[in-house]
Structure 1
Amino acid sequence: MPKGRLFWKILIGFWLTLICVFFGVAAIFAIYDEQRAGMQDALATNPRMSVLTTSTASVLHYGGVEALREVTRSWPRFAKSNLLAVDEDGKDVFGRPVPARALAMARDYLKNTPRPVEGEPDQSMPSVLQTQTPDHRNLMIFAVLDENMVRRTPPRQWLPPQMLWLGAFGSLIFSALLAWYLTRPIRLLQRAFDRVANGDLDERIAPRMGRRRDEIADLGHDFDRMAERLKQLVHSQRQLLHDVSHELRSPLARLQVSVGLARKQPDNLITSLDRIERESRRLDELVGELLTLSRLEAAGAGDPDHYFDMIELLDTIVADARFEAENAGVEIELAMDPALTNQEAILPGRAEPLYRAVENVVRNALKYSRPGQRIDMAVTLADEGHTLEINVSDQGPGAPEEQLGLMFQPFVQLDGENRQPGYGLGLAIAQRAVQAHGGTIIATNRAEGGLTMIIRLPLQAGLTAAA
């Protein structure tokens, strides 16, 4: 497939847009100048021209055309060019061209302007005046618009070629820089995706984004988080495969030894068969827990089409745990929030995974408790009734602080005197089940000794009256 398609699309698109805008604005100004230039033949009626027409009328009335010629020699150029003295035939006394439109407007002006009352002074300053020279010539004085105020650009040169080339080249440079600015991080993302697809999970793109603070830079940070998460998942899967291989090796080795002993010592066949049965049962338990863990990791969020009452589920778990705790001499106390009395705590999803999760937490507390100790289970509401919080506290030895965050990983077991028989999958299964229902689970050491597991689960519809 061709490379750089987006770059060329942005470059050509912006370039053509800028050129169209450039020529459009130039055309609008050219049309506007043409319209203003057409006004050059119109009559000037501003106060400055009224002063000139009045002065010119006085000079012509008392000194004639020759006096006006002498006076206008010191006048500015716009006055010489735009002030006209026209006789009855429509000809200027100095032979200058007379715009027909301005002449018609001047005659209409005189025709429609009221004359001052005889005997009263004329206080106005008209733009068009009519006077009589000493040689009895009737002249009309008026002015056309100043060409310095209304410039007229020749139609064939409304836009100089230099400006055309400058606009086209400048818009090309701007479009190229803009296209490069937009497509550079996209090319970086493309190369980063290729490297990740080829197995390089250490690829990161945010440091190469520079000082960008936009949506593309955010996309780069999201890519880095995705790559980091993929790296963690791949590492976790590899570690899980290694741990599974290690855990399976021991019972398989014992099975092989038992089979060998059964063949060499037929008299001890029953003992060997008992050992084979125990190891087979342990393998079955390990495979079952691994399948449960795999299903929970693949399930994602809880099933929104199913709902269950968490209070009823907790009552069942506590009842089952008390039956087992009696033989161990451990007491289990359940403290329920008063707001939960005769109420339901509705959660979306399936009850079985959460049953396994809370049961694993309670059984883990029971495993580390000694006869005469107590397990406290507190169920409360948090976040204004939108979250159900379950605290399971024991009076056991607790756990090293550095291992509190690791104990939810598969096949991780506590060190030293805290180590207990098992595969280290119970808390991992509990965490996956809680996370699948949108909750969290953490472990903390109690100040007075022991461990506390805190499970927080969001309620679907808060509390509803029990049926």
Structure 2
Amino acid sequence: MGRLFWKIFIGFSFTLLITVGGVGGAIYLNDKSPSTEEGFLSDRRADFVVGITANALKYGSEDGAKALFDTWPGHKRPTVLIINDHDQDILGREVEPETLRRAINALTLDPPPTSVRKVKTETGNEYILFIPAGSADSAGPLKYSLELQIFIALLASLLFSAGFAVYLSRPIKLLRKASRKLAEGDLTTRVSPELENRNDELTELGQDFDYMATRLQTLLDAQRLLLHDVSHELRSPVARMRLAVGLAQQQPDKLASALSRIERETERLDELLGQMLTLSRLEAGIGSESSDNISLTDLLAEIVQDANFEAQAVGSSINFQASNEVLMQGHYELLRRAFENIIRNALKYNHPGESVEVSISKNDQHEILVEVRDHGPGLPEDEIRNVFQPFYRVPGADKPGNVGYGLGLAIAQRAIERHHGNIVLKNCQDGGLCVCTTFPSDIEAATTA
């Protein structure tokens, strides 16, 4: 057993022992007979037994008292002495003269004690009734010794304290073992199944532990997948560069085309590493501490103007709508990267000849709302949440010759969340995908017409 068990066990045992000792002591002192001074018992049990015997003697004479003793429950008769006029007990029991004298003197008190009585029968005989000191069976078979009572109370308190200590310390012991297994790399460790029969704060602590373990498992799995995807994305352009170098060495006449290939792959590597660095800095919270007043309207207009050159090459266009100028507090470069990735992603999957629609406004809650809508194939509903994962690409969605890295929306989401915003993807009823971005009103710097 651990230290917590012993602390709980000793604490509860000590408390129960004090309680039992206090209550037992009070009862003992209340019922204790002052036999050392009076020579006869004068507690409530003695009053009760003497009273019953007095009634039997008064209405049934000596035969009634003897019949009472003969039918008394249990194996022992009550030790009530019934003294006649000759100072003798009617059952022939020994009577101490001093005890008898004290009992006779007690009858002269005002009022006399109820544990000593003088009874006159219907035949005119008088008797003195009392229980001498030292009688252990005066209360009949229901009386237990004080030692036995203390032993039972002690045993009951120890058993209760042990059971309650185990009940409290067991979940903590399970959490300790589970945390060690989790630290050793067993991410499947859970404690809720073993605490399902409880309904208290320790159960909630176990559920929080399981939630933490699940989150750790998810994050580590995502990290492993990210490392796998990064190595794959880096290996492909490097392999093509090595192939181009080998081709140039074997065929010097194709040196120009090989160098051109190496240049393209170098640009792709540079773009990939730049996006990975941006994603890493966003997840680490680096580079977004500064905050400036930004015209989000001008920022979107600039991005749309640059992207329109690419749109014209495929026979498309990007329409931008903004009725008012919206100023907000934020990091210019992060917002530019976020919306540039969103708009270029929309243009990438937009059908040729169709336009991409970009708008900025304020909704009913006075939040800043930016919508980017394309007229492409949209996304399967079960893939909408997955596209925000780094290096994730929807199977079969990439166009030939236009393959991305799967980092654009991941960067956009983290940049927008860094500004306390929210990004939501939803399929339009008439086709295409709509990207809705909202920023809270408290991030707004000023709005002018």
The one-letter code sitting in structure 2 at the alignment partner of 1:441 is I
Q: Which position in structure 2 is the counterpart of 1:374?
A: 355
Q: Do residues 424 (structure 1) and 411 (structure 2) align?
A: no
Q: Distance in 2 between matches of 1:384 and 1:25?
A: 67
Q: Which position in structure 2 is the counterpart of 1:187?
A: 173
The one-letter code sitting in structure 2 at the alignment partner of 1:395 is H
Query: Aligned pair in 2 of structure 1 residues 272, 342: CA closer, same or farther (>3 Å)?
Result: closer
Q: CA deviation at 1:437?
A: 3.9
Tell me the secondary structure at the aligned position of residue 96 of structure 1: helix
Q: Which position in structure 2 is the counterpart of 1:257?
A: 243
Q: CA deviation at 1:380?
A: 4.8
Q: Do residues 164 (structure 1) and 145 (structure 2) align?
A: no
Conserved? CA contact 1:301–1:437, under 8 Å: no
Query: Aligned pair in 2 of structure 1 residues 22, 381: CA closer, same or farther (>3 Å)?
Result: farther
Q: Which position in structure 2 is the counterpart of 1:328?
A: 311
Question: Identity over the aligned pairs, expressed in percent?
Answer: 40
| 1:96 maps to which of 104, 114, 125 | 104
Q: Which position in structure 2 is the counterpart of 1:415?
A: 395
The one-letter code sitting in structure 2 at the alignment partner of 1:216 is L
Conserved? CA contact 2:326–2:446, under 8 Å: yes
Q: Distance in 2 between matches of 1:390 and 1:454?
A: 6
Of 162-171 and 26-35, the range deviating more from structure 2: 26-35
The one-letter code sitting in structure 1 at the alignment partner of 2:296 is L
| 2:298 maps to which of 315, 333, 336 | 315
Q: Distance in 2 between matches of 1:201 and 1:27?
A: 56
Written as runs of structure 1 = structure 2, the 5 A alignment for 1:264-343 is 264-299=250-285, 303=289, 306-309=290-293, 312-329=295-312, 330-335=317-322, 341=324
Q: Distance in 2 between matches of 1:410 and 1:189?
A: 34
Query: Aligned pair in 2 of structure 1 residues 250, 36: CA closer, same or farther (>3 Å)?
Result: farther
| 1:393 maps to which of 363, 373, 398 | 373
Q: CA deviation at 1:379?
A: 3.9
Conserved? CA contact 1:11–1:175, under 8 Å: yes
Query: Aligned pair in 2 of structure 1 residues 171, 361: CA closer, same or farther (>3 Å)?
Result: same
What per-residue deviation string (whole Å, max 9, x for no partner) do you get for residues 140-198 of structure 1?
xxx346459xxxx99xx998111211111111111111111111111111111122112
What per-residue deviation string (whole Å, max 9, x for no partner) do you get for residues 370-422 of structure 1?
4543333344556844x544332112221233322221112222333544421
Q: Distance in 2 between matches of 1:216 and 1:294?
A: 37
| 1:18 maps to which of 5, 16, 19 | 16
The one-letter code sitting in structure 2 at the alignment partner of 1:352 is E
Q: Distance in 2 between matches of 1:159 and 1:382?
A: 84
Written as runs of structure 1 = structure 2, the 5 A alignment for 1:353-372 is 353-370=334-351, 372=353
Query: Aligned pair in 2 of structure 1 residues 384, 14: CA closer, same or farther (>3 Å)?
Result: farther
Of 198-207 and 453-462, the range deviating more from structure 2: 453-462
Tell me the secondary structure at the aligned position of residue 453 of structure 1: strand
Q: Distance in 2 between matches of 1:144 and 1:322?
A: 116
Written as runs of structure 1 = structure 2, the 5 A alignment for 1:201-216 is 201-216=187-202
Q: Distance in 2 between matches of 1:188 and 1:363?
A: 52
Q: Distance in 1 between matches of 2:146 and 2:440?
A: 71
Q: Which position in structure 1 is the counterpart of 2:129?
A: none
Conserved? CA contact 2:303–2:336, under 8 Å: no
Q: Distance in 2 between matches of 1:263 and 1:23?
A: 99
Conserved? CA contact 2:296–2:325, under 8 Å: no
CA RMSD of aligned residues (A): 4.2
Conserved? CA contact 2:383–2:394, under 8 Å: yes
Query: Aligned pair in 2 of structure 1 residues 357, 36: CA closer, same or farther (>3 Å)?
Result: farther
The one-letter code sitting in structure 1 at the alignment partner of 2:226 is L
Q: Distance in 1 between matches of 2:277 and 2:388?
A: 17
| 1:6 maps to which of 4, 7, 19 | 4
Tell me the secondary structure at the aligned position of residue 416 of structure 1: coil
Q: Distance in 1 between matches of 2:361 and 2:199?
A: 43
Tell me the secondary structure at the aligned position of residue 105 of structure 2: coil
Q: Distance in 1 between matches of 2:382 and 2:318?
A: 29
Query: Aligned pair in 2 of structure 1 residues 344, 168: CA closer, same or farther (>3 Å)?
Result: farther
Tell me the secondary structure at the aligned position of residue 391 of structure 1: strand
Q: CA deviation at 1:368?
A: 2.1
Q: CA deviation at 1:314?
A: 4.5
| 2:383 maps to which of 378, 392, 403 | 403
Of 417-426 and 187-196, the range deviating more from structure 2: 417-426
Q: Which position in structure 1 is the counterpart of 2:207?
A: 221
Query: Aligned pair in 2 of structure 1 residues 96, 307: CA closer, same or farther (>3 Å)?
Result: farther
Q: Distance in 1 between matches of 2:364 and 2:13?
A: 55
Q: Distance in 2 between matches of 1:95 and 1:167?
A: 36
Structure 2, gaps ≥5 residues long = 39-56, 66-81, 83-101, 117-132, 135-142
Query: Aligned pair in 2 of structure 1 residues 465, 397: CA closer, same or farther (>3 Å)?
Result: closer
Number of equivalenced pairs: 371
Of 394-403 and 8-17, the range deviating more from structure 2: 394-403
The one-letter code sitting in structure 2 at the alignment partner of 1:12 is I
Tell me the secondary structure at the aligned position of residue 395 of structure 1: coil
In the superposition, the TM-score normalised over structure 1's length comes to 0.68
